[in-house]
Structures are given as C-alpha cells and as structure tokens.
Chains A and B, each alone.
Chain A
Amino acid sequence: MSVVFLLCACISVCAVALICFFLFVNGIPAIKEIGLLNFISGTEWRPANNVYGIFPMIVGSAYVTAGALLLGVPVGILTAAFMAYFCPARLYKPLKTAINLMAGIPSVVYGFFGLVVMVPFIRHNFGGRGMSVLAASLLLGIMILPTIISVSETSILAVPKNYYEGGLALGASHERSVFFTVLPAAKSGIFAGVVLGVGRAVGETMAVMMVAGNQPVIPQKLTNGVRTLTTNIVMEMGYATDLHRRALIATAIVLFIFILIINISFSIIKMRSDK
C-alpha cells in the first residue's frame, strides 16, 4: 500500500516535469528560429510580419509590477502592523475576514471592477484612453494586498515579544517600539511576502488584460496602454498558428523562468527568516 502513496506523491513531480517538457519542447524551437537575442530584446511584436520581440512585454510586466508594489507594499505592511499591534480586539476578526475575502475574489471580478470604475476615472482625470499602466498598477496593487498583509502579519507576530517590551522599557512609545524594534526584526519575513506579491503581480492575467489596453509597445507615459507577458499569451493564443503560436509558448517559457526565479528567492528568504 505504501507504493500507492508513493505513486500519489510522485504525481506532483510528474506534473512539474510534464509542464516543463511540453513548454520547452514547443517553445524552444521558436526561440531558436527567431534567435534568443531577437526574441528577448526585440522591441517589435508584429506577428503578421513574423517579427517577434517580447521586450515591450517584459518591460510592461516590470512596469505594472513596480507600480503595484509602489501602491501595495506600504499599505500592505502598515495594515499588517495595524493587525498585529494596533487593532482593537473586536475589529480584528472582521478585518481578517475581509482580507481573506479579498484574496478570494476572482480576478475577473477585479478586472471588471477596474474596467467600469478605474478606467473611466483615469480617462476623465488623467487623459488618454484610460486603459493604462496606471489602471493595471492600481488594480494589481489592490490584488496583491492580501498576500502581503497575511505573510507580513505572520512574520510580525513571530517576532519574540521581548523585542517590543525591550523597546518600551527603554522609554520608546508603543508606535516607536513596533516600528523600530519589531518591524526590523521581521524584515526578512516581510520581504518574503513582498516577493510572493511580485509573483502574484507578474502572473496575473485576466484582470490585467481587462484594464491594460494591451498595445505591444513600450509605454512612454503612465496613461499609455501596456501589454504584459501574461496578456500577450491570452490575447493571441486563441487564433495563433505555426511560428506565432510557438512564439507565444516561448513567451510562456520566459514568464515561467521569471516566476521560478521569484519563487526560488521566496523560498530562500523564507528559509533564512525561519531560522
């Protein structure tokens, strides 16, 4: 019987192997055909002319992720600090429920909300078409909040209480003790949360597609449209054939490698913070 359990356990190994195999077998030939350098650093994506450069999408992913972090990280960490050290007892449970719910809302619902609320708002107040780097960043900033909050809160709570008490004993106020003794001690855990948030933001697809405009050009302004690696795949996979199709799979390989790097750094940071 133990063999059956072992087989079950091996399925996840097989799944990862299969995913890698099928992505690489279908995508690597396209990268070879286009040329790795042309593919990664090419600034033009014109499937009709067989020109496949994903640099604008890499930059696009980087922009919206950076924007999301700019908004999500401060709010997320401060909210985590609030929940761990400032929150009145009767507020704690509703807030925790709210944050869990935030993590559970489907990305299409977020995307739709962005489409009907944020996009018109940006169009009226900042000009442009509304579907923009700004809209995608704002929306992603909201979507990564629950990840950052829950990982940060856990690591803040894991800091031994005597750090906080030591701060108080030296005459620091409650706020100063939390921010200048507890938070620095929890920094690697908080950082792990941020890295996990980056993974979420880079991998998010549908919500971004609905608000980003999806032009395959490097955006010059915050109000310009942007296309990310993920949306590049969803936008065109439905009708792509031949090299175009394989180029999209190759895009997924690039995305997959980015995500692997992010996840490995998360594991390393987390391992260090657990020690």
Chain B
Amino acid sequence: MTVRKENIKKRSGTHRKSHRCDVISIALRLAVNLAAVTTAAVLIFIIVYILINGIPYISADLFAWKYNSENVSMMPAIVNTIYMIALALLFSVPVGIGSAIYLTEYAKRGNKIAACVKLTAETLSGIPSIVYGLFGQLFFVKYLHMGLSLISGALTLAIMILPLIMRTTEEALVAVPDSYREGSFGLGAGKLRTVFSVVLPSAVPGIISGVILAIGRIVGESAALIFTAGTVAEAATSLLSSARTLAVHMYALSDEGLYLNQTYATAVILLVIVIFINALSEYTAKLLGGKTRNG
C-alpha cells in the first residue's frame, strides 16, 4: 500500500510530458487503461445484468417456508445454507485455530511435523471442489454411512475451508508482537495461559476475517455439495436429512430450465449475500490496520 502511494505522489508531470510523442509509452498506457476498464466493465456488466433481470421477480412467494413445483421458494435453501455454514464452521474453526496455535506457538523452527502440516494445508487449498465432492461421497456418504446429508456436506466443507482458517489465523497470530508474550511470561503466566489470554484475543480480528472469507466460500459452493448433501429442496429436519444450499438450489433451477425468472431472482439474492460478506470482510480487514487479505 505505502509503496503504491509513494508511486503516485512521486509521479510528477514533468517526465510524463517530455515523452508525449513516444509511441510505445502511449500504447502501453492505453493498454493498461483498457485492461483495467475491461476488468471493471465485465464485473459491472455481470452484476447489473443479473440485478436488472432478477429484481423484478423477487417476490414474497419466493420466501415462503414451503418449496413446491408451483412456487420454487428459496427459503428452505437459505435455511439449509445457514445450517451448513454453522456446522462447517463448528468443525473447522476449532481445528483450524488449534493447528495455527501449534504452528506459531509450539512448533520450533525446522520442525518436520510443522513443515508437513503446512505442505498438506497448501495441498488442500488447491484441490478442486469436485474432488472434495467425490471424496465426501466415498468417505462420509458411503464409507461412514452418513448418506446424502447435511452432516456429510458440512464435514466435506469443513475440510475444504480448513486451510483458509489455518492460514488467516496463523497470519494473525504471527502479527501479535513478541513483547506481548514476553510480558505475559514475565508476569508469571504459563505457556497455555499466555496463548489463551494474551495472544489469541489480540488475534481475534484476523481470525474473524478468515471466518468471513470461509463463509463466503461455503455460500458459493455447489460442486462439493451436490454429491455429499444432495439436492432435496426442503429445510433439513435433522443432521442426516439431505439438504440443498442456495447455490445448489440455483444450479438445480437453472438445470431444470423451467424457472428462468426465479433463477435470476435467486442469483440476485446470492449476489447480495456475497457483496455483503465481502463488505464485512473488508471492514474487519480495516480493523486490522489497513492489511488487505491478499497482501
């Protein structure tokens, strides 16, 4: 960030003017501006197109509690999405935070296990969601006999978001100054107490922004859920009932091809949720002091 600001400040007009007739410079400037405009235009086009076609079809009916073929309500799917988020986070957040604590507070430099954990976490974050879906079906659905269910889907997603939670928590823990730890030790606190009452609380905003990103991934996920949580369009009544989330619901509607307008409306709701989640994650990132999540 700071480097960039300096770039802008120092770029006084003088050297730009002196090269006005340099064709290559002009072409490069044009290309760069064109690319940025293209990127922004594509995103704006996608969002505006979906909003224009979808908003007129958002009606109270679409939020009715019951789904049937006359009224393809998305309310059950929204409820399922919330269940799915809660369950996946329930499994993933404690494990992710625990792993990050191990990696930053307990593992010594050059620790083989820590290196192995980091490597596998990186591997996990690169695996495509369809492979997770297939694995979830082979392991949770078939091998553990959980069937196509909320719990199979949530466990699959929990593994999927684990590397994200681990990485963001680790970054947040590393950012806690060592003087905090030293101060705590100096006051006679043990290792565990230091971790839980000094280090973790100062890392909370970082952890929360990781959790928000994870929620975003869960909301948008479809390929991993079709074969683990199934596509039943009812609100789940137990952990073992099959349940489609909003993204899967949208895919199913689009696939059936009979409910184009309702598909647009569902897309609008999904977009609004994603925009809200992104704004929230940017807000928490701001609390961290201008750190961006890609930085």
Q: Which residues of A contact B (CB under 8 A)?
A: 1-2, 4-13, 15-16, 18-19, 22-23, 26, 74-79, 81-89, 92, 95-102, 104-113, 115-117, 142, 145, 149-151, 153-154, 157, 161, 164, 168, 173-176, 178-179, 199, 202-206, 210, 230, 233-234, 237-238, 248-249, 252, 255-256, 259-260, 262-263, 266-267
A100, B222: Cβ atoms under 8 Å? no
List the interface of chain B (C-beta within 8 A of A): 3-8, 11, 15-16, 18-19, 22, 24-26, 28-29, 31-36, 38-40, 42-44, 46, 49-50, 53, 94-99, 101-103, 105-107, 113-114, 116-117, 120-124, 126-135, 137-139, 143, 159, 162-163, 166, 191-192, 216, 219-223, 226-227, 247-248, 250-251, 254, 260, 263, 267, 270-271, 274-275, 277-278, 281-282, 292-295
15 further A-B pairs in the complex, CB-CB below 8 A; given A101-B278, A107-B220? A12-B120, A16-B120, A22-B135, A23-B135, A75-B35, A78-B36, A79-B32, A104-B278, A106-B220, A107-B223, A178-B28, A203-B127, A210-B254, A234-B130, A234-B133
Contact across chains for B98 and A260 when beta carbons are under 8 A apart: no
Contacts of B129 in A (CB 8 A): 203, 205
Bound: A100/B11 CA distance, A: 27
**Which of B130, B226, B260, B274 is the most central at the interface, judged by chain A CB atoms within 10 Å of its CB?**
B130
Contact indicator A174/B11 (Cβ below 8 Å): yes
In the bound complex, residues from chain B placing their C-beta under 8 Å from that of A145 are 39, 42
Q: Decide: A78 and B25 in contact? CB cutoff 8 A.
A: no
Tell me whether A173 and B15 are in contact (CB under 8 A). Answer: yes
- Which residues on A sit within 8 Å (CB–CB) of B223? 107, 205-206, 230, 234
B87 to chain A, nearest CB (A): 16
- A113-B50, A255-B128 known; A82-B32 Cβ under 8 A: yes
* A206 interface neighbour in B122, B251, B292, Cβ under 8 Å: B251
Evaluate whether A176 and B28 lie within 8 angstroms (CB atoms) in the complex, with A22-B139, A199-B126 already known.
Answer: yes
Chain A residues near B106: list those with CB within 8 A.
Answer: 2, 5-6
Q: Which residues of chain A come closer than 8 Å to B221, judged between CB atoms?
A: 106
Closest chain A CB from B1 CB (angstroms): 8
17 A-B contacts, Cβ less than 8 Å apart? A11-B99, A12-B121, A15-B124, A75-B39, A78-B34, A82-B35, A85-B4, A102-B43, A105-B46, A108-B254, A112-B250, A112-B267, A145-B42, A173-B22, A174-B11, A202-B128, A205-B130
The residue in chain A whose Cβ has the minimal distance to the Cβ of B143 is: A22
Contact check, A142 vs B42: say whether CB atoms are below 8 A apart. yes
Contacts of B122 in A (CB 8 A): 263, 267
In angstroms, how far is the closest chain B Cβ from the Cβ of A67? Answer: 16
The answer to whether residues A9 and B98 also contact, given A15-B120, A88-B8 and a CB cut-off of 8 A, is yes
Contact A81 B32 (CB under 8 A): yes
Determine whether the beta carbon of A105 is less than 8 Å from that of B254.
no
Tally A-B pairs: CB < 8 A: 277
Q: For A249, give its contact among B53, B107, B134, B216 (CB under 8 Å).
A: B134
Q: How far is the CA of A11 from the CA of B45 in the complex (A)?
A: 42
B interface, over-half SS: helix
Contacts of A16 in B (CB 8 A): 120, 123-124
B216 and A256 within 8 A (CB): no
Nearest-neighbour CB distance to chain A for B190, whole angstroms, equals: 10
Closest CB in chain A relative to B274 CB, distance in Å: 5
Q: How far is the CB of B165 from chain A (nearest CB, A)?
A: 10
In the complex, A156 Cα to B103 Cα: how many Å?
A: 29
Select which of A78, A106, A150 is within 8 A of B270 by beta carbon: A106
Whether A8 lies near B102 (C-beta < 8 A) is yes
Q: Which of B42, B120, B138 contacts A13 (CB 8 A)?
A: B120
Which of the listed residues A2, A9, A112 has the most CB atoms from chain B within 10 Å of its own CB? A9
Residues of chain A within 8 A (CB-CB) of B4 are: 83-85, 87, 92, 157
Within the complex, which residue of B40, B102, B134, B270 is in contact with A9, where a contact is CB–CB below 8 Å? B102
The 10 closest A-B pairs by CB, nearest first: A203-B128, A8-B98, A106-B220, A78-B35, A173-B19, A5-B102, A263-B126, A175-B25, A175-B28, A82-B36
